[in-house]
Amino acid sequence: RARRDGGQSVCFYEPRLRLLVEEQRSLLADLRRAVARHAFGVEYQPIVDTQTLALRGFEALLRWHRPGYGPVPPDRFIRVAEEAGLICELGAWVLEQACREAVSWPSRVRVAVNVSVSQLESPGFARQVASILSKVGLEPSRLELEITESIFMDANASSFGVLESLRELGVGIALDDFGCGFSSLGFLRGFSFSKLKMDTTFVREMGIDRRAHAVVSAIVNLAAELGVAVTAEGVETPQQLSILRQMGCTQAQGFLFSRPMQPAAIPPLLDQIGGEMALSPAPDAVLG
* Cβ contact 166:126 at 8 Å: yes
Minimum gap (Å) between residue 77 Cβ and Mg ion: 14
Task: Return the residues of window 199-228 that contact ligand C2E according to CB under 6 A.
Answer: 200
| Pick 61 or 175: Cβ nearer ligand C2E | 61
Query: Is 176 a binder of Mg ion (CB under 5 A)?
Result: yes
**Shortest distance (Å) from residue 128 CB to ligand C2E:** 14
Q: How far apart are the first and last CA of the chain?
A: 46
Q: Write the binding mask 91 to 120 for ligand C2E: x where contact by CB under 6 A, - elsewhere.
A: x--x-------------------xxx----
Cα–Cα distance between 88 and 145 in angstroms, integer?
Answer: 14
196 has which bridge partners?
175, 230
Rounded-to-integer distance, Cα 30 and Cα 70, Å: 12
Kindly state whether residue 149 participates in binding Mg ion, applying the rule CB under 5 A.
no
Work out which of 30, 144, 149, 233 binds ligand C2E, going by CB under 6 A. 233
Question: Binding to ligand C2E by residue 145, rule CB under 6 A?
Answer: no
Site for ligand C2E contains 70 (CB under 6 A): no
Q: Is 46 in the site for ligand C2E (CB under 6 A)?
A: no
Say whether 241 sits in a helix, a strand or coil: helix
Judged by phi (left if over 0) then psi (alpha if -120 to 50, else beta), residue 70 lies in left
5 vs 75, beta carbon nearer Mg ion? 75
Rg (CA), the chain: 21
Please say whether the beta carbons of 47 and 231 come within 8 A: yes
Residues 6+ apart with CB under 8 A from 221: 248
Residues whose CB falls within 8 Å of the CB of residue 164, separated by 6 or more in sequence, listed in order: 191
Length of the chain: 288
CB nearer to ligand C2E: pick between 7 and 73: 73
Q: How far is CA 118 from the centre of its chain?
A: 15
Span near Mg ion by CB under 5 A; candidates 66-74, 97-105, 109-117, 206-214: 109-117
Stretch that binds ligand C2E, among 16-24, 67-75, 102-110, 127-135 (CB under 6 A): 67-75
Query: Which position among 159, 234, 243, 244 is part of the footprint of ligand C2E (CB under 6 A)?
Result: 234
Question: How do strand 110-114 and strand 143-148 relate by DSSP bridges?
Answer: parallel
Q: Give the one entry of ligand C2E, Mg ion, none that residue 240 binds, where binding means its C-beta sits below a cut-off of 5 to 8 angstroms depending on kind.
A: none
Residue 149, binding choice from ligand C2E, Mg ion, none, Cβ under 5 to 8 Å by partner class: none
Interface positions with Mg ion (CB under 5 A): 114, 146, 176-177, 233
